[in-house]
Amino acid sequence: MLRRTTLLGAVSLLAGSVLVAPLAQAQSSQQVTVDGARKVLADLRHDKEFGNAKQLMRRAKAVMIVPKLLKGGFIVGGEGGDGVLMVQGRSGWSDPAFFAIGAASFGLQAGLEQSELILLIMSQKGLDGVLRNEFKIGAQAGITVATLGSGVEGALSGASVPDIVVWSSSTGLYGGVAIDGSIIRAEPNQDSAYYGRSLTSHEVLYGRGGSPRTVGLRRDIEAIG
């Protein structure tokens, strides 16, 4: 009887482990993305190409951070990566919602397999576009995009700022990635897995995330401006 009880307990424990493992793995994967976003913020603070555009962070409606933009990382034959989107409100930066970006080609420099990417979303029009399902950059009329780098800072210092400003860095070198034609999509399943309950991207961005694991990322982004 004791042996049978022990066996049943072992089977139950194994079954429980099998059910929990996928969730734990998913949470770990999302935390890697969040931690990667913190590294990107640390990198850009020391990147001369980011220049005085730190001021743009104070004015941005939202920021999307992609720690690893990979060749072959989105669809077979394409490029892309997972990232987080955060919006800036009256009380500061929101919790991160998970988004993905992909394209047939981002034109990474020859020989490079990955790049860090930040999208500074400067207008409500730009943010509304990104929050649309399967938003394709360049397909929506009236949304302007500029790549941050040499010769661009002057254009960004005026009253008229593009809807989306792109910054990228590949192994410490300015990459100049063009994102026209790329697709941005929300990943609500990742949001739900990370926050432990069913959530939409909109709910995360506007106050229903509430995870202590995001405090470091929010603190880091506030320190940029």
Nearest to 40 by CA among 177, 225, 221, 187: 221
Each residue of 30-73: pLDDT tens digit?
999 999 999 998 887 776 666 666 778 888 999 999 998 876 55
Each residue of 186-206: pLDDT tens digit?
999 999 999 999 999 999 999
pLDDT for 142: 80
CA 221: distance to chain centroid? 13
Question: What ranges make up the beta strands (E) of 1-96?
Answer: 62-71, 79-89, 92-93
Residues 163/126, Cβ–Cβ less than 8 Å: yes
Q: How far apart are CA 212 and CA 183, in angstroms?
A: 30
Number of other residues whose CB lies within 10 A of the CB of residue 85:
25
pLDDT for 206: 92
Both structure tokens of 202 = 């909109």
